[in-house]
Amino acid sequence: MIFEASQRTPRVELTPVSCLIRGECYPENISEWSEPILGALEECLGNDETEFVVDIELYYFNSSSAKFLFDFFEYLEESAEGGKSVVINWRYRAEDETMQEAGEDFEEDISACSYNLVVVEQAVA
């Protein structure tokens, strides 16, 4: 399932075993955008696959989007607690301290998932 990027929202690719979020995120109305994504995520996590890999590469998100990310991670945590092996890769450019810090902030809230801060030179293909 693919949600195309817009000027204010990132591209989201969901498969039964993976999720990729890339771009900037500051929609005018966060819940309008996030609800279908969270719904799709829940669906993806509901299958029998044993692994789920999440790649997040954001360049900017506003404070309302931070709330979305919290909810997003909560779903992943629940799934991980349910026995699924969930890996989250928070990808940021080395020079982007803001995203690095954001990634570090989220890490504090993650316990059940395996959480990696990944420095990238190039975007995920």
Partner 1 sequence: MTIKIKMLLIILVGIGLLFIANIYSSLQTNTAHKQYSSEESLTAHSSAWFSNMDTQFVSNLLAYDPADGSERNVGFWDPESDAFAGSTGENPLFAAIVDKDTETAEGLFAQVFSDAIMEEQITFAIAYDKRGLQLYCESSLYLVGVDPCDESAQPDYFLKFGSFVSSLENGSVRRVTQINDLSGDQPVSINDTLVFPLMDSGENLIAMVVVGRNVIDSLEQFSENFEIETAIAIGERALTVHDYYEEERPPELNKLIRTGISHAVENQTFSYSFVAEEQGTRISSIPFSKEIRASDLRILIFDDQAELLAALQEAETTAFIIFATVSLTILGLVFVMTTSSFNRIVDAIHLLEKMGEGDLSVEIPAQRGLFSSKNDEVSRLQNTIDDYRHHRQEAEVQRRDRAKRRDERDGIMFEKMAALAEQLEGQARDLLKQEIAGMRDTVSSGTDEEKERASIEVMSKAFSRMSDEVTTLIDARTHELVAAKDEINSSIRYAAKLQNALLPKTMPGDFDINVEWRPRDLVGGDIYFIKDFPDRVYIAVVDCTGHGVPGAFLSIIARSHLDKAIDANNYQSAGAYLSTVNELLKDTLSRSDQKNTSEEGFDGGVCIYYRKQHKLEFAGAKSSIFNVNGIDATETTGDRKSVGSTRMASDFTFTTHEIASPTGAFVMLTDGITDVMSPEEKPIAFGRRRVMRILRESPDKTPSTIVKNIMRSVNLYRGDAPFRDDLTLLAFSLIEDDSEISTASAVGEDP
- Chain residues that interact with partner 1, rule: CB under 8 A: 24, 26, 30-31, 59-60, 62-64, 66-67, 70, 93, 95-99, 105, 108, 123
Nearer to partner 1, 18 or 64 (CB): 64
Q: Are strands 18-25 and 51-61 parallel, antiparallel or unpaired?
A: parallel
Q: Least separation, in Å, of the C-beta of 63 and partner 1? A: 6
Q: Least separation, in Å, of the C-beta of 115 and partner 1? A: 16
Spatial strand order in the sheet of 51-61: 2-3, 11-15, 18-25, 51-61, 85-93, 114-120
- The answer to whether 65 and 31 are in contact (CB under 8 A) is no
Q: Least separation, in Å, of the C-beta of 105 and partner 1? A: 5
Nearer to partner 1, 64 or 85 (CB): 64
Q: Give the whole-angstrom CA distance, residue 69 versus residue 74.
A: 8
Nearer to partner 1, 76 or 99 (CB): 99
Nearer to partner 1, 52 or 61 (CB): 61
* Dihedral, 54, 83, 50, 88 alpha carbons, nearest 10: 10
